[in-house]
């Protein structure tokens, strides 16, 4: 052995110590989650079933196979190749993947980029597969095929409020479609939040809370998200026993489908939000009443919920019981639990030692229910309440649990990334998320440049602690282009060249290449889809405000100039309207 090599080997243990122990903790978590995955044959059938629902005519054209990560250099991947030409049974394309999600993503990649198909939510154009050639004439891929690795292990999906803005009235049929959509887009870390009130009912009744007390605690179906977060209680309720039971049945269907597809569901955990009656049953428990949130008339029937302090021993008892009850109902399906105790609700003091003890208590409650639990936290507070969460407070919270036991969502990274200003969450693994949608509103807008480059910049940055990409919009079923691009970032190691990408997008979406449509998309890309402050008002409100101010304050020649600008905006507006008409019709050119 040369002296040089020896020298390098001696140095090795000291050099990247912190970052390698960091990635080891994540590797350990990933392999533990792998052991919970459904058997390869189950996942292969689940992927086949996605194909059957998407493209039943081609069921015999594809073969799916689960492979180990060794095939992909230790990462998750899909691998599209030609099936042996000599085969007589109709098989044409082989798709291998490390889980059924990768197989479905490979299928989606193939029908997009070889067959010109387009998959979207029903409300944003639906599934357009008329361009896929008949069985027997599917296009070949080159040589050894196409192997695409995930640059980061996770692709997260949902926001804690999506359940209220978008999913509230969904039945299994709609959920099944959504889970297919998730698999095709490569989502492997979705929230699974249905039915948690049914779990709470069982847990809290064990703590001697009556069903009647719970009527004033749970929110109604459309307001569950805010009742869960302790923003309000009782509003829109009470929930009938029938609703609770039916949601639990639905949750079990959702979970088993996610598991068959090889996803890791994220379950809820206890954040301290408790019914008023708990105060009477446990008079010595430290329960504080919160102030008025944006609720109704300051009426205490709806407002000002109760928070059990995380340092109270009862917190751990309830938190543990909640996790245990979920495991009892669903089995050992995950280690990842969401908890957002401090969302729009600051701790009583900014003393880092106290914040650290609160964080530790929250994690203790979780880990007593599931010893391997990992706390997934929305990083919204660091943005929305940045006055409180200064570096010492952030560090205290992020370092209150052992390394690798917390993953943060950089929730608004598309517009206001926290990873840059916080030294990558002070070493805590995080997921680069696109928030994009507020309140389920349906304006046409987005920040395509940030989506195509942000995750790449974050991943290759020095000392990166990024472990995933994600979509955590408040409401879904709008701006299909933004969601399609973001989903692709789960499989892209390099930035996307958007002008080119949008050409293929419009080709797939409208069924053929039309120069004017491509030109219109380029305008949209440089205007409403270049909305850099990340909220829909940026373009129209500012420009219209600007026009009004100019008209009233400036001399005539400026008004003439302004009119030219108005005409320009008018043209953009007309092209937007035209495009949205095209957008909502299936294959308008066919």
Cα(451)–Cα(447) distance, integer angstroms: 6
Q: Per-residue string for binding with ligand NAG, 113-152, x by CB under 6 A?
A: ----------------------------------------
Start-to-end Cα distance in the chain: 68
Which residue's CB is nearer to ligand NAG, number 92 or number 180? Answer: 92
Pick the binder of ligand NAG from 423, 464, 504, 550 (CB under 6 A).
423
Least distance to ligand NAG from the beta carbon of 311, Å? 6
Cα(573)–Cα(570) distance, integer angstroms: 5
Least distance to ligand NAG from the beta carbon of 38, Å? 25
Residues in 507-566 at the binding interface with ligand NAG, rule: CB under 6 A? none
Short-list 188, 323, 178, CA closest to 264: 188
269, 319 in Cβ contact below 8 A? yes
Count of residues of this chain found to bind ligand NAG when the rule CB under 6 A is applied: 15
Does position 207 interact with ligand NAG (CB under 6 A)? The reply is yes
Indicate the burial class of 305 (C-beta count within 10 angstroms; 0-12, 13-18, 19 or more): buried
Q: Which stretch binds ligand NAG (CB under 6 A): 39-47, 244-252, 284-292, 573-581?
A: 284-292
Pick the binder of ligand NAG from 57, 68, 298, 497 (CB under 6 A).
298
Least distance to ligand NAG from the beta carbon of 18, Å? 6
SS (H, E, C) 124-179: HCCEECCCCCCCCCCCCCCCCCEEEECCCCEEEECCCCHHHHCCCCCCHHHHHHHH
Residues in 38-97 at the binding interface with ligand NAG, rule: CB under 6 A? 81, 84, 94
Does position 421 interact with ligand NAG (CB under 6 A)? The reply is no
Place of tokens 């060249």: 497
Does position 403 interact with ligand NAG (CB under 6 A)? The reply is no
437, 473 in Cβ contact below 8 A? yes
Does position 286 interact with ligand NAG (CB under 6 A)? The reply is yes
Does position 208 interact with ligand NAG (CB under 6 A)? The reply is yes
Least distance to ligand NAG from the beta carbon of 419, Å? 11
Residues in 339-398 at the binding interface with ligand NAG, rule: CB under 6 A? 348
Least distance to ligand NAG from the beta carbon of 22, Å? 11
Where are the extended beta strands (E) located within 366-511? 374-378, 406-410, 430-434, 466-471
Which residue's CB is nearer to ligand NAG, number 95 or number 498? Answer: 95
Does position 462 interact with ligand NAG (CB under 6 A)? The reply is yes
Dmax (CA) of the chain: 83
User: Going by DSSP bridges, is the β-strand pair 77-82/93-97 parallel, antiparallel, or unpaired?
Assistant: antiparallel
Short-list 265, 375, 399, CA closest to 319: 375
Cα(25)–Cα(40) distance, integer angstroms: 25
Which residue's CB is nearer to ligand NAG, number 397 or number 520? Answer: 397
Angle at 469 between CA 385 and CA 95, to 5 degrees: 165
| Chain residues that interact with ligand NAG, rule: CB under 6 A | 81, 84, 94, 207-208, 286, 288, 292, 298, 309, 311, 348, 423, 462-463
């Amino acid at each position: 052995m040369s002296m040089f090599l020896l020298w390098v080997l001696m140095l090795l243990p000291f050099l990247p110590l912190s970052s390698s122990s960091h990635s080891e903790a994540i590797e350990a978590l990933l392999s533990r989650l792998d052991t919970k995955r459904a058997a390869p044959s189950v996942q292969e059938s689940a992927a086949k079933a996605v194909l059957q629902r998407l493209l039943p005519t081609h069921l015999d054209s594809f073969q799916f196979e689960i492979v180990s990560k060794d095939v992909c250099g230790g990462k998750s991947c899909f691998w599209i190749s030609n099936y042996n030409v000599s085969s007589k049974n109709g098989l044409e394309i082989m798709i291998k993947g490390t889980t059924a999600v990768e197989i479905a993503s490979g299928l989606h990649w193939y029908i997009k980029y070889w067959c010109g198909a387009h998959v979207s939510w029903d409300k944003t154009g639906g599934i357009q597969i008329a361009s896929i050639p008949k069985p027997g004439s599917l296009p070949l891929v080159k040589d050894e095929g196409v192997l695409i690795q995930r640059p980061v292990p996770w692709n997260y999906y949902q926001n804690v409020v999506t359940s209220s803005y978008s999913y509230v009235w969904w039945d299994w049929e709609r959920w099944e479609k959504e889970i297919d959509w998730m698999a095709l887009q490569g989502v492997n870390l979705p929230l699974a939040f249905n039915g948690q009130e049914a779990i709470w009912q069982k847990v809290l009744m064990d703590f001697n809370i009556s069903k009647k007390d719970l009527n004033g605690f749970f929110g109604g179906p459309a307001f569950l998200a805010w009742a869960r977060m302790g923003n309000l209680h009782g509003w829109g309720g009470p929930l009938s026993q029938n609703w609770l039971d039916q949601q639990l049945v639905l949750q079990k269907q959702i979970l088993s489908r996610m598991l068959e597809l090889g996803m890791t569901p994220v379950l809820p955990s206890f954040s301290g939000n408790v019914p008023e009656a708990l105060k009477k049953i446990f008079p010595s428990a430290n329960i504080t009443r919160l102030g008025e949130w944006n609720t109704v008339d300051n009426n205490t029937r709806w407002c000002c919920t109760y928070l059990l302090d995380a340092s109270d021993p009862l917190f751990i008892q309830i938190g543990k019981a909640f996790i245990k009850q979920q495991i009892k109902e669903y089995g050992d399906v995950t280690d990842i639990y969401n908890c957002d105790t401090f969302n729009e609700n600051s701790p009583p003091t900014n003393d880092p030692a106290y914040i650290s003890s609160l964080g530790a208590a929250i994690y203790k409650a979780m880990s007593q229910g599931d010893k391997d639990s990992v706390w997934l936290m929305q990083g919204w507070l660091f943005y929305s309440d940045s006055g409180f969460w200064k570096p010492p407070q952030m560090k205290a919270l992020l370092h209150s649990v052992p390394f690798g036991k917390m993953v943060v969502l950089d929730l608004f990274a598309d517009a206001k990334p926290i990873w840059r200003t916080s030294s990558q969450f002070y070493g805590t693994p995080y997921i680069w998320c696109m928030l994009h949608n507020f309140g389920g509103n349906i304006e046409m807008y987005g920040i395509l440049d940030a989506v195509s480059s942000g995750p790449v910049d974050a991943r290759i940055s020095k000392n990166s602690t990024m472990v995933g990409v994600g979509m955590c919009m408040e409401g879904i079923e709008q701006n299909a282009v933004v969601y399609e691009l973001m989903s692709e970032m789960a499989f892209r190691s390099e930035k996307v060249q958007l002008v080119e990408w949008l050409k293929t997008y419009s080709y797939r979406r409208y069924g053929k290449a039309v120069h004017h449509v491509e030109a219109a998309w380029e305008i949209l890309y440089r205007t409403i889809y270049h909305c850099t402050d990340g909220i829909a008002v940026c373009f129209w409100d500012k420009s219209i405000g600007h026009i009004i101010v100019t008209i009233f304050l400036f001399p005539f020649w400026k008004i003439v100039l302004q009119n030219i600008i108005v005409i320009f905006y008018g043209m953009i507006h007309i092209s937007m309207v035209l495009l949205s008409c095209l957008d909502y019709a299936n294959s308008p050119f066919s």
